[in-house]
Copies of this chain bind each other. A is one copy, B any other.
Amino acid sequence: MSMAALFRGYRNFYKRSNKHVELSLVSYRSMASKTPVGFIGLGNMGTPMARNLLKHGYPVIATDVFPESFKDLQDSGAQILDCPAEVADKADRIITMLPSSPNVIEVYTGPNGILKKVKKGTLLIDSSTIDPAVSREMAIAAEKMGAVFMDAPVSGGVGAASLAKLTFMVGGVEEEFNAAQELLTSMGANAVYCGQVGSGQAAKICNNMLLAIGMIGTAETMNLGIRLGLDPKLLAKILNMSSGRCWSSDKYNPVPGVMEGVPSANNYQGGFGTKLMAKDLGFAQDTATSTQTPIPLGSLAHQIYRAMCACGYSNKDFSSVFQFLREEGV
């Protein structure tokens, strides 16, 4: 067991009972902070995130199922191991960034998964966007092994990941938030503590649901205004100084020609894919169903992004809903 993990164990033992000891452990962790960090999942998001850890002086021990995805990071100085279990054997702080719930389950609880070799006191931070129920399951499984699991999904895309401008929404035991924050702020601009395990996912799901509603609403409104004879730039200006204003109207307008540097200015390439938005809305739908919460617009937004996937928009940015609603028929 590493020193950091050892101290983590003490720290967990003392927490709540001894504020003084707590503080001194925090300062220990800060001192120890340049011990290796594990990173699992080196896709479009994971690679720049791991690179930012390296930039901040953290040794990185990484792995991914696709060998071609870790070449770049290896050249930047990361050590590559064969599987999550091996990473868990070497690092007592591990970040995972994976595409979906089944991958997370596999990486944590699979035959070569993290929990096979995780050390007591290890801090596990999952930045994947997944079903909050899976986050809770992973937290329970980790706790059985003496480790701590936190969910920390991100807001912001590949660009924000490269520039270390992500926002992390963090769920888990509050006492561990400082430890997580130290790593997360090397990869992002903000880390917000949201509550118990799964709360990070919940906050992200909520944000993305409102984002989807705002985007489709903006696309409909701009389209209607244009059909009524309004100039799109003028309409955007009016909305943005009025109560119709939202992020999709003032930062990411879906109408080509209104803004520069957004996917609508680039034929809806890049950005946040329709398929990914449909996936996130699926989580919103699932959690709303299980909590018996009515989400009429959120649910319709989900259906619209799902129908767009059926019509060939899967890989276009989610602002392409403007094109979908506008496209001229035969």
Contact = CB atoms under 8 A, between A and B. Distances in A.
Interface of A: 132, 155, 167, 169, 190, 192, 194-196, 198-199, 202-203, 205-211, 213-214, 216-218, 220-225, 227-231, 234-235, 237-239, 241-249, 251-252, 275, 278, 282, 284-304, 306-315, 324-330
Nearest to A157: B243
A158 to B, nearest CB: 15
A267 to B, nearest CB: 14
26 contacts: A195-B231, A206-B235, A210-B218, A210-B221, A213-B220, A214-B246, A220-B293, A220-B294, A220-B296, A220-B298, A221-B295, A221-B298, A224-B287, A227-B293, A228-B287, A243-B252, A245-B246, A282-B290, A296-B304, A299-B300, A307-B307, A308-B329, A311-B327, A312-B327, A312-B329, A314-B330
A230 B206 contact: yes
A326 B155 CA distance: 27
B239 A207 contact: yes
A194 B235 CA distance: 8
Nearest to A193: B234
B208 A244 contact: yes
Contact of A297 (B227, B245, B247, B297): B297
Contacts of A328: 310
A195 B206 CA distance: 38
Most chain B CB inside 10 Å of its own CB: which residue of A169, A252, A278, A329: A329
Given A203-B235, A210-B217, A243-B252, A224 B285 contact: no
A214 B306 CA distance: 20
B299 A299 contact: yes
Contacts of A287: 224, 228
A244 B210 contact: yes
Contacts of A288: 224, 227
B311 A311 contact: yes
A229 to B, nearest CB: 6
A194 B155 CA distance: 35
Contacts of A295: 220-221, 223-224, 303
Contacts of A292: 227, 278, 282, 306, 309
A251 B30 CA distance: 38
B286 A289 contact: yes
Contact of A294 (B251, B284, B306): B306
Contact of A211 (B222, B237, B243): B243
A210 B310 contact: no
A159 to B, nearest CB: 13
Contact of A286 (B155, B217, B221, B286): B286
B246 A210 contact: yes
A223 to B, nearest CB: 6
A310 B296 contact: no
Given A199-B228, A228-B287, A297-B301, 20 more contacts: A190-B241, A199-B229, A207-B221, A207-B243, A209-B244, A213-B297, A214-B214, A223-B294, A224-B288, A242-B247, A243-B247, A282-B289, A286-B286, A286-B289, A294-B303, A299-B302, A299-B303, A307-B324, A307-B325, A312-B327
